[in-house]
Amino acid sequence: MSLILDSIGLRVGEEVVIDDVSLALERGTMNVLLGPTLAGKTTLMRLMAGLDRPTTGRLLLDGKDVTGLPVRRRSVAMVYQQFVNYPSLSVYENIASPLRVARLPKAEIEARVAQAARVLRLENLLQRSPAQLSGGQQQRTAIARALVKRADLVLLDEPLANLDYKLREELREQLPRIFAESNAILVYATTEPTEALLLGGQTATLWQGRVTQHGPTPAVYRRPDNIAAARVFSDPPLNELAVDKRGALIVTEAGRQLPATGMLANLRDGSYRIAFRCDDVTIDAGANGLPGFPGTVSVTELSGSESFVHVDVGIGTWVCLVSGVHDWQPGAAVEVHVDMRRAFAFDAEGALAAAPAMAASA
């Protein structure tokens, strides 16, 4: 069983909101839609659900064209950013509500609610009202209601976005286990690369209404096909360096010449953007043999166990990850070292031209 988006497009007036998206989503797999705000994640989900009708293209469920079929005639469950529960019903009745609408036998309802409550660790809260729950518990109730229906298609639109970060962290770790037993086509929209990686499955990166890459989640992370996918799958932002490859050298915009080592050696001469993530950069590492770029610290962000140092290197700002808590002060002069063996190179069109050796195995 599968859901196929065949050249789906959506125009609103003159604006192209969804631009020719083709995807095949399989039953029993987690499909992550990863992209920033306004990339088209929610719109794409609404099209999948039948809440909106695409301007072009077809939607096929098990080979059957369901393009114009309204949502009430489809088997769909949705979980939203906002916690949506019936305030006057108990947690039990909230979870049971779609089953009551479907007029399932009492014993079946009890069995399904009990199973969902176990998976979502709500067993001891079933008699409470939503107002007596924390945000995380409310959202777990909404997820339980979506799963209990056993819909063909379960759509989760940034379900953790409105939770405190600690609750988000805890629920995020539980998600793979929660969905492991589901046999639905699961679609999960998020802005956060870490969430995509934890969920695993397949990831489609979205940028400006287009799917820029689709594949197994770790493979998309380790080997982005194009710079748009790499940017979407990097948090903090991808570090970039515009260069010209000339023989054995790469030359930066500032005229700096560096040896074209590692995977850069095999590039044809021409213009490229070299890109690397925050963990491929070190600060003030001394003589480690990596090319150094002098810069000035603009801010150090502390996540609690990691420090993200933003350094203005004259040709842009790079973010460097340092583990532990280290507060480099704004204005401090530092030297940034880039491990070019772990960098990607994208050509003038943004397509991947060279990837680090380790990406090949992903």
Partner 1 sequence: MARITLDGIAHAYARNPQSPQDYALQPLHHVWEQGKAYALLGPSGCGKTTLLNIISGLVIPSEGRLLFDERDVTRLPTEQRNIAQVFQFPVIYDTMTVAENLAFPLRNRKVRRPQIAARVADIAAMLELTPYLNRRARGLTADAKQKISLGRGLVRSDVSAVLFDEPLTVIDPALKWELRSKLKAVHRALDLLMIYVTHDQTEALTFADRVVVLNEGRAVQIGTPEELFERPEHTFVGYFIGSPGMNLLPAQVAGTRAQVGDCEVQLGAAYPAMPADARIQIGVRPDFVTLAPTRGLKVQVRRVDDLGRKRLAHVSLAGHPMVAMVPDGMATIGAEAFVNLDAAHVLVYRDDVRVEGVAA
Does residue 304 bind partner 1 (CB under 8 A)? yes
Does residue 277 bind partner 1 (CB under 8 A)? yes
- Written as one string, the DSSP assignment of 24-59 is EEETT-EEEEE--TTSSHHHHHHHHHTSS--SEEEE
Q: Which residues contact 124 (CB under 8 A, 6 or more apart)?
A: none
Stretch that binds partner 1, among 20-28, 106-114, 241-249, 301-309 (CB under 8 A): 301-309
In angstroms, the CA 205 to CA 211 distance is 6
Nearer to partner 1, 13 or 324 (CB): 324
Pattern of binders to partner 1 over 91-130, x per CB under 8 A?
----------------------------------------
Stretch that binds partner 1, among 166-174, 202-210, 266-274, 346-354 (CB under 8 A): 166-174
Stretch that binds partner 1, among 92-100, 248-256, 296-304, 345-353 (CB under 8 A): 296-304
What is the H or E stretch that residue 227 is in? Answer: helix 227-232
Residue environment code for 279-316, b if the CB has 16+ CB neighbours within 10 A, otherwise e: ebbbbeeeeeebebbebebeebeeeeeebbbbbebebe
Nearer to partner 1, 65 or 170 (CB): 170
β-pair partners for 320: 309
Nearer to partner 1, 149 or 168 (CB): 168
Location of structure tokens 């690369």: 193
Nearer to partner 1, 165 or 269 (CB): 165
Does residue 42 bind partner 1 (CB under 8 A)? no
The end-to-end CA distance of the chain, in Å, is 27
The answer to whether the peptide bond before residue 356 is cis (omega within 30 degrees of 0) is: no
- Written as one string, the DSSP assignment of 163-178 is S-HHHHHHHHHHHHHH
Does residue 344 bind partner 1 (CB under 8 A)? no
Nearer to partner 1, 108 or 170 (CB): 170
Tokens for 36, please give them: 């920033």
Pattern of binders to partner 1 over 228-257, x per CB under 8 A?
--------xx--------------------
**Which residues contribute to the site for partner 1 (CB under 8 A)?**
36-37, 134-135, 164-167, 169, 173, 191, 193-194, 197-198, 218, 221-222, 236-237, 277-279, 298-305, 310, 321, 323-327, 330
